[in-house]
Amino acid sequence: MRYDSLLDSLGGTPLVGLPRLSPAPDVRLWAKLEDRNPTGSVKDRAAFFMVEQAEKDGLLPRGATILEPTSGNTGISLAMIAHLRGYQMICVMPENTSIERRQILQMHGAQIISSPAAGGSNEAVRVARRLAAEHPDWVMLYQYGNEANARAHYATTGPELLADLPGITHFVAGLGTTGTLMGVGRYLREQVPGVAVVAAEPRYGELVYGLRNVDEGFVPELYDASVLTTRFSVSANDALRRTRELLDAEGIFAGISTGCALHAALAMAAKARKAGQRADIAFIVADAGWKYLSTGAYSGTLDEAEARLEGQLWA
């Protein structure tokens, strides 16, 4: 397939069946390979739509500086687009994120400001908000509250899924900014009566939940619980185990957040089978495993890998 430029090749990702992990001929799992996007993750869709919208709104004059709290993929997507379009990019990211992500961001010309590991992305959001207030000329696209993030999935990922899988019964994705689930979920709910929209939420180690009190919590502005039908909390151990199963059984080398989504997808598959219902369950492969090699997720025993992930933001 031919495109005028890398950015023009955004989306249109393959949906592949998982014949070995699907539990029955009429209960099938399908993986949407979002690692086949320009910078290798699902975040390219949101980043592209957010930049386009900001340009339309006149928020990004020539040479403008984009600021974003991000510990990974959104930053990489934004940094690539910003570099091509002549913007400066500053990422605020927790210090406990993998070295690969930092190096890729730097390759795309982004500047990195570290936020304390304790508090995870909550803390990165706080630091970014403070910086935005101190530098009114910097533009924070703010993926957690930017409607263009969810709209990217409403306009592209959702229609792609339905076109490839008209009989879709379940959609499963990781819950972060909530953009993928809100956008795809809204689209599918309009088109497919009774479709299940399932969130898989990574359950981190204690460090990430090191808030001083529960009133300091964070719920993304994009989040609308009425779009979801179920929300699963997935441990690092389960996410790692599924990430390895996906590689072992189907040959798909995915990042750890994909294992999280697969775990929830398999739970839905087991429920459907038990109830004797047919199911076509699509889930998102958010990115490939390359960026997480240094976390040790793919070597040694599961317990060893889990111990190495303690305190890390693995999804």
Q: Are 29 and 264 in contact (CB under 8 A)?
A: no
Residue of 22, 41, 71, 257 with catalytic role: 257
What is the spatial distance between Cα 76 and Cα 101, in angstroms, rounded to a whole number? Answer: 8
Task: Please state the closest distance from residue 234 (CB atom) to another protein, in A.
Answer: 7
Instruction: Tell me which DSSP letter residue 128 carries.
Output: H
Q: Candidates 26-34, 160-168, 229-237, 297-305: pick the segment binding another protein (CB under 8 A).
A: 229-237
Please state, as a whole number, how many other Cβ atoms lie within 10 Å of the Cβ of residue 10. Answer: 21
Site for another protein in 266-295 (CB under 8 A): none
Pairwise CA distance, residues 291 & 314, whole Å: 10
The only residue of 168, 232, 285, 289 in contact with another protein, by rule CB under 8 A: 232
Phi-psi region of 267 (alpha: psi -120 to 50; beta: other; left: phi over 0): alpha
Q: Quick check: 259 binds another protein (CB under 8 A)?
A: no
Q: Which of 58, 225, 251, 276: binder of another protein (CB under 8 A)? A: 225
Span of 48-56, 104-112, 208-216, 275-283 interacting with another protein by CB under 8 A: 208-216
Q: Which of residues 90-129 bind another protein (CB under 8 A)?
A: 97, 101, 119-122, 124-125
| Cα dihedral value 67, 68, 73, 74, nearest 10 | -90
**Catalytic (active site) residue 257:** yes
Q: 162 vs 297, which CB is nearer to another protein? A: 297
Q: Site for another protein (CB under 8 A): how many residues?
A: 52
Per CB under 8 A, 169 contacts another protein? no
Q: For residue 315, state whether it binds another protein (rule: CB under 8 A).
A: yes
Rounded distance, CA 162 to CA 107, Å? 36
- CA–CA dist 15, 30 (Å, integer): 6
| Active-site annotation holder among 22, 32, 41, 43 | 43
Whether 274 sits among the annotated catalytic residues: the reply is: no
Extract the tokens encoding 31: 């993986």
Please give the torsion angle defined by the CA atoms of residues 56, 59, 62 and 64, in that order, rounded to the nearest 10 degrees: -140
Q: Which residues does the annotation mark as catalytic?
A: 43, 257
Residues that bind another protein (CB under 8 A): 43, 69-74, 97, 101, 119-122, 124-125, 143-144, 175-177, 199, 201-204, 206, 208-220, 225, 228-235, 257, 313-315
